[in-house]
Amino acid sequence: MATAGKVIKCKAAVAWEAGKPLSMEEVEVAPPQAMEVRVKILYTALCHTDVYFWEAKGQTPVFPRILGHEAGGIVESVGEGVTELVPGDHVLPVFTGECKECAHCMSEESNLCDLLRINVDRGVMIGDGQSRFTIDGKPIFHFVGTSTFSEYTVIHVGCLAKIDPEAPLDKVCLLSCGISTGLGATLNVAKPKKGMTVAIFGLGAVGLAAMEGARMSGASRIIGVDLNPAKHEQAKKFGCTDFVNPKDHTKPVQEVIVEMTDGGVDRAVECTGNADAMISAFECVHDGWGVAVLVGVAHKEAVFKTHPMNFLNERTLRGTFFGNYKPRTDLPGVVDMYMRKELELDKFITHSVPFSQINTAFDLMLKGEGLRCVIRMDE
């Protein structure tokens, strides 16, 4: 392409400081270096993680920064040493990676790549410690290796999943983060068998993706647990058969669920990040075979407390990161599940805005409205 090897000037939404609306700027995007790829982003969605680091209340503030990590795009050019991607390939950027060489990547049981696992404080490329974004020669920092709130971005090849070019990027972009996280927690970690009962704690986009996994698995009963009664109606589209609001009960919600299910659910998936919900999710599974999976990220001081007897009675507690999917190896198959109409994605998309109105997406998420807002980069 004519732009390969040259600096590209394009539009990006820059976070100059914590909590201030993003500002549309012209940025210079440098060509990709060794093992890097420059990608034209076509669609990006807003995930709660973007808002969390934009607010920067509980972590190291890194500004000015280009946020964004849930997206879909097309390869514009590749750096030295990149062999498995070529210009024109359709890709999903992922906030964690797969180098294919470390102990984790070589293990069938892990997706926590030593080289490319998520680093929220790093604002530069791993290869040379420099940013590929500048404004008037001054560096603008990257975010989790993706920075998709820019028309062009530079990403390590290990953080890009090559997908079916027929797949609509405005839908499958959701698989680059939240939907895969919840879906995989159920399909890869909880692994409910057909006819089992499943409880899902927290009915945001990730929780509903976990619920979608339960629906796809043929669960006989899917219990949604959330403090917001408005979530019940929406959850029905994802297979929810029962709804429990802990606020409606005087006893702990795990006791309510154990009574409802004659001893507990077969599987529980927790997607809130609240330690009490994590404990409830574990304590509501059936003895002998129950499995609870933790997805939500708790705050630094959080502690998980339960009686050891709960384990001795053969309950299992598991954790997961990015749904246990290896980004490059496994995501193409998740896209194929959508293409075969086994996985439904359209119902997760409740809003769509042009790139110029990206701050509207932030407003919607801060108000708790909708699930996913897809941002159209070409408008």
Mean pLDDT by 10 residues, the chain (379 residues): 92 97 98 98 96 88 96 98 98 98 98 96 97 98 98 98 98 98 98 98 98 98 97 97 98 98 98 98 98 95 97 98 98 98 98 98 94 95
What are φ and ψ of residue 375, in 5° steps? Answer: -105, 125
Distance CA 96, CA 205 (A): 19
Q: Catalytic: which of 65, 90, 104, 117?
A: 117
Q: Which residues does 339 contact at the CB level (< 8 Å), separation at least 6? A: 164, 166, 167
- Please, what's the largest Cα pairwise distance for the chain? 66
Asked about 117 being catalytic, the answer comes back as: yes
Asked about 113 being catalytic, the answer comes back as: yes
Decide: residue 262, CB within 10 A, 0-12 exposed, 13-18 middle, 19+ buried.
Answer: exposed
Asked about 70 being catalytic, the answer comes back as: yes
pTM of the model: 0.97
48-55 helix and 358-367 helix, angle to the nearest 10 degrees: 90
Task: Give the torsion through C-alpha atoms of 18, 129, 173, 217, to 10 deg.
Answer: -100
Q: What is the pLDDT of residue 59?
A: 76
Which fold does the domain 8-174+345-376 belong to in CATH?
Quinone Oxidoreductase; Chain A, domain 1 (3.90.180)
Q: What is the pLDDT of residue 1?
A: 60
Asked about 372 being catalytic, the answer comes back as: yes
Q: Catalytic: which of 159, 173, 177, 240?
A: 177
Which residue ranges make up each domain of the chain?
8-174+345-376, 182-320
Q: Catalytic: which of 44, 104, 372, 373?
A: 372
Q: What is the pLDDT of residue 58?
A: 74
Q: Catalytic: which of 48, 318, 351, 376?
A: 48
Q: Catalytic: which of 96, 105, 212, 240?
A: 105
Q: What is the pLDDT of residue 57?
A: 84
Asked about 153 being catalytic, the answer comes back as: no
Asked about 47 being catalytic, the answer comes back as: yes
Q: Is the dihedral of CA 227, 233, 234, 238 positive or negative?
A: positive
Asked about 69 being catalytic, the answer comes back as: yes
CATH for 182-320 is: 3.40.50.720
Asked about 156 being catalytic, the answer comes back as: no
Q: Catalytic: which of 76, 98, 99, 132?
A: 99
Q: What is the pLDDT of residue 60?
A: 83
Distance CA 46, CA 95 (A): 13
Buried b (16+ CB within 10 A) or exposed e, 215-234: bbbebebbbbbbeeeebbeb
